Amino acid sequence: MQKKKKIRKLLCIILSVCMIAGLSGCALFDDTMNDIKGNLAGNGYTIETYDNYGNKVMTTTGDKINVSGNKIETTSYDSSGSVITGYELSSVITINIDGKQIQSCGDTCIFAQKGLEPDVDFVQQDISSESSGKIDENTYISNIVNKYKNYFGKSRVVVIKSQLGQPITAYSGDEVYWKIPEKLPKMTKLMIDGKALYIHRANFQIIDTDLLDQ
């Protein structure tokens, strides 16, 4: 019982610190504002397109860009044999670029908001971690704490690879947040120090910087 009380107390302290930190800068808030601006007017992006082997096949830039999914109609049958009509996202994405459009399906696309630069000096390395025995390293506790830390952003490195596992590029930031957009197929969105990064159809890892510093 005493141990459970200590765990609860620690969680309350950590979450309080996270909430206080969020008053000065919240990655989730930055993401929301970025989505609103992108949907209304578009954001400036550089879009790098790669084949399955990680070879760059096209670079696209624009001042007012947003990306949207495409729904397709589906049909199924209920127990009485009646047709049920529904909708689901297709694999096609539509990219609006300064009043023009690109439809894309299958390629790896990386959308980097203007001002966000990759880490050209990033080198792959192994990770070797050991527990110090602290209570916040308990997997149950750390899972909860890191879930909330993600909303405010934390120091991370994002390693992006092709669909066949070839390294493409890497990004890093002090406040990194990620989510899976509901209306975009096979897409992950990150906010890195206030700038947006979309990853479409690629392998990737989001690694806490502390793990790489050990």
Divide the 214 residues of the chain into consecutive groups of 10 and give the mean pLDDT of each group.
56 53 66 83 93 95 94 83 84 95 95 92 66 74 81 91 94 95 93 95 94 76
User: How far is it, in rounded angstroms, from Cα 149 to Cα 26?
Assistant: 10
Strand partners, 154: 176
DSSP per position, 109-169:
EEEEETT----TT-------------GGGSHHHHHHHHHHHHHH-EEEEEEEE-TTS-EEE
Q: Residue 45's Cα: distance from chain center in Å?
A: 16
Residue among 212, 198, 200 at smallest CA distance from 112: 198
- Position 23 scores a pLDDT of 42
- Position 27 scores a pLDDT of 87
The residues spanned by each domain of the chain are: 17-213
Residue among 14, 52, 34, 25 at smallest CA distance from 165: 52
